[in-house]
Amino acid sequence: MKKRTDRKIAIAGTAAAAVLLPAVMVGLAQAGVGVPKGGSEAAGDSDPVPSFGPATQPAAPGTVSPSKSPKPAKLPEVPANTRPFDTGGGSPLPNDPDRNAGNRGKKPKLPPGSGSGEYAKAPNGATVTGVKKLNSRIFDVTIASPALGAKVRTRVMVPKGWKAGSSKSWPTVYAYHGGNNNSTSWTKDSDIEQVIGPYNAMVVMPEGGWNGSYANWYNGGKGGIPGWETHHIREVIPLMERNFGAGSTRAAIGLSSGGQGAIIYAERHRGLFKYAASYSGALNISAPGMPAILTAMNRDSGTAIWGDPITARANWRAHDATVNVAKLKGTGVYVSSGNGQPGPFDPPDTPPHHAGRIGEQLSGIMTENFVAAAKRAGVPVTSHLYGPGMHNWKYWRRELRRSWPAIASAIGARKS
């Protein structure tokens, strides 16, 4: 699959699919036709907090999802061959797990040439195979991942005073990138060094794949490679904590599909993060009409990520941030989005069919649904639904600055 959640939302399949699939699939789903009672990933939200370090917060008690469905919204028409959720451009990495169709669905295993290594391993055997220093405070870590069946990079920004091999740990922010981007995104496209750099916090920026959608892929019910959720939660976090001084007081932030990752990870692994923030995130993937749109647009991998939206409906809902919003009780939450109209950072004459307008309209609808569901579930959420604004970094830089004080307070980060 060559396009991640961000592109899937915004790149049309065929005109017939765009017209017929939403009505047919949504109608069947609402009627309960072919809807299973459970799914292979549905239990992920009850995972205990991994014991990679001393516990800092007990897991939130079990809650139930709000039963009321979000108000249906009119979804925009999505012209073919548009890229509304491109969050930085560039090309996929040569070994990108999302694009390796031959590995898809295979049993997780270490890639060739992983070696024994000098670093402590993750519980599943994932290991660090290399560290490349970029400057005095930023380095890239290469991880041999069984969950992905490949070697991928994680970028790390350390605070002042950090020393390799020290037993000291630091408050840690896990920052997830968006579509058509990679682990370099946050340092390349944002001002995260200026915003978080002055604080005594570590920032971990994992690879999320060209279109991994921050989930263990369904692969027709087989699961297997690629397992992005396993990589991020069961591999990256323990490797950072066991080898590089990442602390167990954690926050998760992300933009676009990375915002989806930040929120859904906080829901599915309750208590793992003290705070979660989404900027223009895909927070309601099972909203009326949305599964059909995503499936019709996802021509390269079909239903590999979450499964068929009818027969694997439980799996879609298990990865829907709005459906599972009640599980965020006890976690600080910040969400923001525009509505796709040209805003203060956009050309005022941007046409309606512009990719960035369509992408942010979809993000805005999903984020509004999330905020409404949080209110119904009694979950405190700080939201910034700022109206006019398109899907681009000019807004996400602002939202990082706006949300950072609350994030820093939640994880105990202070100016150093």
Domains of the chain in start order, with CATH, are: 5-32+70-411 (3.40.50.1820)
DSSP annotation of 87: S
CA distance 238 to 142: 14
Whole-angstrom CA distances from 286 to 26, 203, 247, 320, 370 are: 10, 31, 34, 6, 12
Give me Rg for the CA atoms of the chain: 20
CA distance 212 to 180: 10
Q: 152: number of CA atoms within 13 Å, CB side?
A: 31
CA distance 226 to 238: 19
pLDDT, one tens digit for every residue, the chain (416 residues): 444 444 444 433 333 333 333 333 333 333 333 333 333 455 443 344 343 433 333 333 333 344 455 456 788 776 666 666 678 777 788 889 998 999 999 999 999 888 767 899 999 999 999 999 999 999 999 999 999 999 999 999 999 999 999 999 999 999 999 988 999 999 999 999 999 999 999 999 999 998 878 999 999 999 999 999 999 999 999 999 999 999 999 999 999 999 999 999 999 999 999 999 999 999 999 999 888 777 766 666 769 999 999 999 999 999 999 999 999 999 999 999 999 999 999 999 999 988 899 899 999 999 999 999 999 999 999 999 999 999 999 999 999 999 999 999 999 999 98
Contact 285, 19 (CB under 8 A): no
Contacts of 254 (CB under 8 A, 6+ apart): 175, 176, 177, 178, 214, 260, 261, 262, 263, 277, 278, 279, 281
CA distance 388 to 390: 7
In DSSP terms, 141 is beta-bridged to 131, 154
Q: Read off the amino acid at residue 14.
A: T
CA distance 180 to 6: 8
